[in-house]
């Protein structure tokens, strides 16, 4: 991010191939099984000298990294653990002289579709998995340094088990809840400098 007259401006010229992004997102959506309760962080970085004068990364210098994150919910809240993991990943890439151009987070969660009164009550108490119509899903949220963002979902259990909803490209200014229930969507945007 660069600053012009004190206002932040995102450099929209930095980009990585769409095919690489979709491959990463598809892998994240299919890399888990029911009950895994894991998070995966996928980052694609390039060395600072691998980014050309127009801000486009040299595809031969892109370096993907995958982090498997298993938080101990009894030790500390998941969001705090994710924040520490993302900071560590950012520091690791910075020490290597790399810029993170793309990052994606997947996590497993519980969904009731359609939402009803019981699901709202259980959600507020953190017991949504007790709902008789609950399904486990893998959710993914991703962002690129050029401002593009994506989200998607794959059903692990329930009547839609095995169904992957279309991964959606999000356009426009990021909004508060665009991560569709993913803890740490704002951290993903920060990791890529949005």
Nearest to 192 by CA among 93, 54, 122: 93
Cα gap 171→143, rounded to integer Å: 11
Pairing of strands 98-111, 7-9: unpaired
pLDDT winner (highest mean) among 53-67, 127-141, 169-183 = 127-141
The tokens of 82 are what? 């994710």
- Least confident interval from 3-7, 42-46, 48-52: 3-7
Q: How confident is the model at residue 5 (pLDDT cuts 50, 70, 90)?
A: very low
Cα gap 31→154, rounded to integer Å: 10
Pairing of strands 2-4, 7-9: antiparallel
Cα gap 145→134, rounded to integer Å: 35
pLDDT of residue 103: 95
Widest CA span in the chain: 56
Q: In the 8-state DSSP scheme, what is residue 166? A: P
pTM for the model stands at 0.83
DSSP H or E segment with residue 89: helix 78-95
- The sheet that has 149-155: what strands, in order across it? 63-69, 39-47, 98-111, 135-144, 149-155, 168-170
Asked if the model's pLDDT at residue 114 lies above 80, the reply is yes
Asked if the model's pLDDT at residue 126 lies above 50, the reply is yes
Contacts of 147 (CB under 8 A, 6+ apart): 10, 12, 194
Nearest to 62 by CA among 122, 17, 11: 17
- Least confident interval from 10-14, 38-42, 159-163: 10-14
Asked if the model's pLDDT at residue 55 lies above 80, the reply is no
Asked if the model's pLDDT at residue 180 lies above 70, the reply is no
Residue whose structure tokens are 């991964």: 167
Asked if the model's pLDDT at residue 149 lies above 90, the reply is yes
Asked if the model's pLDDT at residue 187 lies above 60, the reply is yes
Cα gap 68→184, rounded to integer Å: 15
pLDDT digits (tens, 9 = 90+) for 56-89: 788 888 989 998 887 676 777 777 888 888 899 9
Asked if the model's pLDDT at residue 1 lies above 50, the reply is no
Q: In terms of pLDDT, which residue wins out, 1 or 115?
A: 115
């Amino acid at each position: 991010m660069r600053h012009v007259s004190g206002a932040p401006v995102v450099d929209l010229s930095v980009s990585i191939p769409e095919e690489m992004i979709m491959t990463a997102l598809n892998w994240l959506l299919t890399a888990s099984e029911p009950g895994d309760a894991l998070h995966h962080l996928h980052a694609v970085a390039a060395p600072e000298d691998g980014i050309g004068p127009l801000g486009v990364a040299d595809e031969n210098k892109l370096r993907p990294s995958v982090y498997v994150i298993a938080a101990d919910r009894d030790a500390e809240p998941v969001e705090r653990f994710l924040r520490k993991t993302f900071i560590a990943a950012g520091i690791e890439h910075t020490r290597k002289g790399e810029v993170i151009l793309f990052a994606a987070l997947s996590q497993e969660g519980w969904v009731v579709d359609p939402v009803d009164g019981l699901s709202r009550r259980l959600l507020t108490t953190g017991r949504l998995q007790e709902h008789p119509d609950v399904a486990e899903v893998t959710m993914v949220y991703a962002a690129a340094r050029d401002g593009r963002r994506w989200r998607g979902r794959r059903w692990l259990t329930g009547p839609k088990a095995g169904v992957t909803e279309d991964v959606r490209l999000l356009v426009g200014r990021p909004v508060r809840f665009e991560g569709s229930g993913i803890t740490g969507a704002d951290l993903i945007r920060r990791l890529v400098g949005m």
